[in-house]
Structure formats: structure tokens, C-alpha cells
Amino acid sequence: MQSLDPQVEEKINSWLHGNYDEETKAEIREKLDNEKYEELTEAFYKDLEFGTGGLRGIMGIGPNRVNKYSFGMATQGFSNFLKKNYPDEQVKVAIAHDCRNNSEELAQVVADVFSSNGIHVYLFDGLRPTPELSFAIRELDCHGGVMLTASHNPKEYNGYKAYDEHGCQLVSPQDQMVLEEVQNIDSIDEVKFEGIDENIESIGKEIDEKYLDALFELSISREEIQRQKDLSIVFSPIHGTSGVLAPPALKRYGFNNVTYVEEQMSFDGDFPTVEYPNPEEKEALSMALDKAKEIDAELVMATDPDADRVGIAVKDNHDKWVLLNGNQTGTLIINYMLNAWDKADKLSGKEYIVKTIVTSYLIDRIADHYDVDCYNMLTGFKYIGELMTELEGQQQFIAGGEESYGYLIGDHVRDKDAIVSSVIIAEMAAYYKDKGSSLYEALQNIYLQHGYFRERLVSVYKRGREGAEQIKQMLKNYRENPPEKLGGSKVITIKDYKTQQAKNIKSGDTTAIDLPESNVLQFITEDGSIISVRPSGTEPKIKFYCSVNTDLGNRANYDKKTKQLESKMDQIIEELTS
């Protein structure tokens, strides 16, 4: 083992001589015998840590991999945290899982560990969407919960999302406190793997019905839906959990002409029909689009495996199918909801919407128009959920979202919800059709009224330990040598969310940023372009978010202005990544 780092070698030996199963040890020995040192290093050089999406990684052996031991350690640490924080109560948790390989077995491991610690466990009787897990925590007055999913990551991944008593993913300082509890476990022998059956209660249909009832209460345009109930919709769960609840939710809303992509209705962790089960990727919607063209549908929707993100496609003014990005869909949802609340005279001055700092600032303009507060949070829906909890009883949440295709309408959960998003998107399509318009035309009308915004996300992958160092160095360079111009326009403000300072370049003055520390840089130019740079919290990549805008003037300018804005983004991305 001379080619291995001493610390890696020490961790490997602890697994070989520790209380781990023989199958795991045999796999380690096989890799050692075949000198697979790089694989072993990646699997053992660190422990999985909580990021913006919780605990997430590639399945396999080792502390930096998803397996029953990494999940067992996480659950024992979470159990210790819960018992310390609720010493005089019967602690209760809810657990759900998605369609990923090993999810069902890992969910049972998590349930067993909780139950062995004297915690009452509500375990879903089959796979369920992430938002329903958040709903169940609130509905059952739990102290926490766990969702087993790797969201939209490739099939090799799985993950562990830890939730608090409000149904929100853990935020600081709780996430660090749980992590410290995990790190305080000296040996796998401290993990109580032997389950206590009487502490585990199966849940399912009753929670499904309550969740669907809550979604139906959010419907605004019921008369329009009734008139447009034959709206032709194509829907795909991409082999994931929305296949459980999206069909009954759409039916309950009144849509009776929904075509499901049969090849993708099977629950399959190998995701055999797509390269990545990510609705942000065009390829993931290709089968749904083919079906839509075949039957001449009017709307296409597809969700990720745990049903917290949704991607859509609509027809443009030339009857050509186009994919909307997350900013565009979020803009449509926010505009639709605020307009509906305004027409119903429900805006009292205490309502608000929420987005992230890397999501379109067109949404801020729409909120300003309706005189509704718009809060900008750090990336990660847990920060939106945290704010919702803080403002509960003081202000009324209407909707929120982030550019990565995650939205929430209503306050029934504290996480992004692709099920409620899908029914509201379908409702929007019916509403605009009833008015002789379309979602695409509605988006253009927003641009005409509030300004034409175009956004783009570019991700640069840097894998492994070396890649992590490269990402760190890139951010260091941007901080030490920030660009003076981007896209031909002077950089006038630099926001560094790590130092929590915003600097005016001309005056040199700085102001505090009232958000938690985060490794994000934002460059704002004289012409209103906003470029954000951050490392991903769940994948080995650095992300560049580019937002540019202009006045559209009239519809005739749309194609010309689009080319101008796209060209400007090309230039900005080239300047930052070359």
C-alpha cells in the first residue's frame, strides 16, 4: 500500500479490522490486490459531509461513499442530536425514499437505527416524493425526518436529506451540530443497527390523501380549468416518484387529457431511458417531446426522481416546441400567482415571495410592481424554507423558487415541490388558453412590461480531490484579481458572500451582506448584468450564473434582442472561463 497516502491507508485498515461485513472487506481487498489506489483514495480520503443538498455521494465502500455504514453513522449522529435537543419528549421522525438503487434497503437501515435509539419512526410503505416527506413531518408533528435521494444526480449516486421539525432541510447551526455528533462517534460499533420493530410505523395512503387535499386548495382558476379540461398535456416522472402522486393530483385539478410517457412510468434506479434523470437537461425531456409532437399536445412536463424539480416545454409563436429554463418557469409562476392575488384583492401588504441570489432578478421587478416583498436567499431551498419558518405568523408566503427548476406554491411544505408546481403550471396553461393566449405569449408579455431578461448557467466539472483544489484556486483568483469589465460593461459592484461584504468599485465603500457566509462571488456591471460564481454543494463542479437584460420595446424586436443578449452572455462566459 506504498502508493496510498498514510491517512487513507489508516482509514482503510480501520475498515478491514473493524466491525464491517465480510462482503465490504472482500471488496476492499480486491481493490488492494488489483492496485486500484485511485479508487480507494477517492473512497477513503474523507467523510461525506452535509452540503446544500444534505449528504450525497456515489454508492460504494468507504467513508466518502454512500453505504449502510455512512448512512448508519449519519443516523446515529442525527439520533444523538434529536435526543439531546428533545430530552423530555418522545422523539418522532418520518422517512421516505425515492426510486434509486438501494434506497429501499438503506431506508430500512435508517429506520432501524432511529428505532434502536428509542425514536418513533414513520416509514413510508413505498417510494414517495421529497415534498411529501416534508409534508408528513409537519402533519405528524415529527421532530425531524430523512429523505433518501440523490435528486437529479446520475444513477451511481444516492443521498440523505436531513429535515428539522418544520419539514425544512437542516440549516446552520443544526447541520453542523449533527455533523459534530457524527464525528464524535469513534467507532461503527457505536451505531445501533438492530431495529426495534414496535418503534417503526408504516404510513402511506392517508398521508397521500391529505397532501393531495392541500394541493387542491391552492387551485385559483377552477372555472378556466373546467372550460379547458381537455388541455393536452404530456407528463413524465422520468422513472421517479412523481409517478405516484402527479397523476392523481392532475386528475383532482380537473385535467382529463394527460398522456403519460409509458416507457418512463416504471420506477427504475438505472434510469434506462435517459443519460441523466435531470429535467434541466434537454435529453431528459426528449421522449416526452416526441410523444407531444406525435399527439399534438400543448404542454410537456417532466420531473426528477424525487419530484422536487420540474422542467417544461411549450410551443412558441411559430408552433415550435421550446424548453423553458428554470428562471422562465419561475417567472411565469410568480407572475401568475401575484396577478391572481392582486385581482382577488388578497394583497394586504404582508405577503412575500422568495428566490435565491442566482435566480432571475426579473422576479424582483415583478414583486416591486405588485408591492410585494421579495427576499433573496443563498442557493439551496433550505434557506427559503428557513425564512418561511421565521416569517410564519408575520407575513404570508405566496410562492418561491430557484433557477434550478425548483418551486413552491403555498406553505404546506418547506421544500421545493414538483407536484404542486406541475398542477399550477398546468393551471396556468389552461388559464392563458382560456384567455386566447399561451404560456409563451404570457412570458413575452412579462418581458414587454418589466424588461427582457436572459439567463444562462455554465458548469465546469473538476472531479476528485485534485478537482476540488482547482475549484478552490479559481475562486481565489477571482477574489484577488476580479474582472474590471464583463461583456463590455464596467464591473461596479462585487459581492463576496464569503466575507459577507459588498464593495462599490468606484468609491471603494463596502456594505454588509445580511446573509450567512457562503462561498459565492457576484459581479454586477454598469448595464445591470449580474454574474455569480459558486462551487456546487452536491457535485464536483464550479457554476457560473450569467444574467443580462434590456428593454424589449415591442414583440418585433424579440429575435434581434435575443441574439444580442445571447452574444453578450457568450462574451462574459468566455472572459470568465478562458
Q: Active-site residues: which are they?
A: 151
DSSP letter, residue 282: G
DSSP letter, residue 557: G
Helix (H) or strand (E) holding 334: helix 326-343
Q: Would you state the cell numbers that stand for residue 401, as one nine-digit string?
A: 423558487
* Count of other CB atoms within 10 angstroms of residue 529: 21
| Angle subtended at Cα 241 by Cα 236 and Cα 242, rounded to the nearest 5 degrees | 45
Closest-CA residue to 418 (of 426, 410, 406): 406
Helix (H) or strand (E) holding 386: helix 381-391
Positive/negative CA dihedral, 132, 341, 234, 206: positive
DSSP secondary structure letters along 165-185: TTS-B--TTHHHHHHHHHHT-
CA distance 72 to 48: 12
| Amino acid, res. 145 | G
Closest-CA residue to 154 (of 541, 425, 561, 417): 541
Query: Cell 418581458 identifies what position?
Result: 447
Closest-CA residue to 12 (of 22, 3, 29, 23): 29
Own/partner contacts of 512-521, CB < 8 Å, gap of 24 or more, are: 515/357, 515/377, 515/378, 516/172, 516/378, 516/383, 518/378, 518/379, 519/475, 520/357, 520/358, 520/378, 520/379, 520/495, 520/496, 521/475, 521/478, 521/479, 521/482, 521/494, 521/495, 521/496, 521/497
First to last CA, the chain: 39
CA distance 243 to 33: 44
* Count of other CB atoms within 10 angstroms of residue 346: 11
| Angle subtended at Cα 278 by Cα 439 and Cα 244, rounded to the nearest 5 degrees | 80
Query: Cell 392575488 identifies what position?
Result: 341
Query: Is residue 82 within 8 Å of residue 144, measured between CB atoms?
Result: yes
Q: How many CA atoms lie less than 13 Å away from 64 in the CB half-sphere? A: 13
DSSP letter, residue 517: -
Kind of pairing between the strands at 321-324 and 310-315: antiparallel
CA distance 546 to 496: 16
Task: Report the SS3 class of residue 546.
Answer: strand
